[in-house]
Amino acid sequence: MAVRRDWNAVAAALDERGWARVPNVLTAKQCASVRAMFERDALFRSTIDMQRHGYGSGRYRYFAAPLPPLVERLRQTFYVPLAAVARAWATRLGGDADQFPPTLERFLARCHAAGQKRPTPLVLRYGAGDWNALHQDRYGAVAFPLQLLVVLSERGRDYEGGEVVLVEQRPRAQSRATTITVAQGEGIVFTNRERPVRGTRGDYRVAMRHGVSTLTSGERFTLGIIFHDAE
């Protein structure tokens, strides 16, 4: 996480296509550490069986407060540059840029004032045949338009399949799907609800949903960093 990053390039990719790669977010050792957390019940506030709820197939667990230091550092580190993108997008869409203050502490204070006090970073585990349905992660009235995922397993060694799927819906157009393979320790920042796109008559809103394609073999762990807290 001490790697210097070109946040201007990340912002440009987000503007162009709604997602951006961020290499070397976690080392292999850090990935193994977070994978091991999945079995430590005391670290989590809830566990979701995806099939039971109609979300797909697999399990995910939401961290309890306080977050593990590694997860907290990621959330803090990524929020600041991504908040600049969120403010710019809000302005382009005619919204209030101040809803995304420059520090995570101030943004979470907004969440807590709205009754959203449960942390949302999570670890997801998929086995062979598991998948994640297309969705948006909102959790309440206060919502941040971007989130981060980091794949904790190595494709080709630990699992096959399991591509990240992003589906964009532009007004009066067919949906467009993008599939993304992600290296171990690599991050993907993506739009989790809507973003501005420049048109001939100015900016318009484009909605995006995300999911995961079916794992064909093995086991895949993912760390998800969502910046708003939940009701």
Longest CA–CA span in the chain (Å) reads: 53
Tell me the per-residue pLDDT of 12-29, one tens digit each, with 9 for 90 and over: 999 999 999 999 999 999
Structural domain contains residue 84: yes
Q: Which amino acid does the sequence have at 91?
A: T
The answer to the question of residue 61 being in a domain is: yes
**Res. 2: pLDDT tops 70:** no
- Could you give the CA distance from residue 130 to residue 135 in angstroms, rounded to a whole number? 16
What is the tens place of the pLDDT at every residue in 35-54?
Answer: 999 999 999 999 999 999 99
2 within a domain of the structure (yes/no): no
pLDDT at 76 exceeding the cut of 80: yes
In a domain, 231, yes or no: no
pLDDT tens, position by position, 202-228: 899 999 999 999 999 999 999 999 999
Domain contains 1: no
The domain of 56 spans 7-226
Report the CATH number at residue 124.
Answer: 2.60.120.620
DSSP 146-185: EEEEEE-S-BTTTEEE--EEEEEE-TTS--EEEEE---TT
How many separate domains does the chain show?
1
203 Rama class: left (phi>0) / alpha (psi -120 to 50) / beta: beta
pLDDT exceeds 60 at position 96: yes
Domain presence at residue 154: yes
In this prediction, what percent of the chain has a pLDDT beyond 90? 93
Q: Model-level pTM?
A: 0.95
What does the DSSP 8-state code read for residue 206?
A: E
Read off the pLDDT of residues 187-207 as tens digits, 9 standing for 90 and up. Answer: 999 999 999 999 888 899 999
In a domain, 134, yes or no: yes
- What is the arithmetic mean of pLDDT over 172-176? 86
Q: What is the dihedral of CA 95, 96, 97, 100, to 10 degrees?
A: -110
Calpha distance 122→56 (Å, rounded)? 16
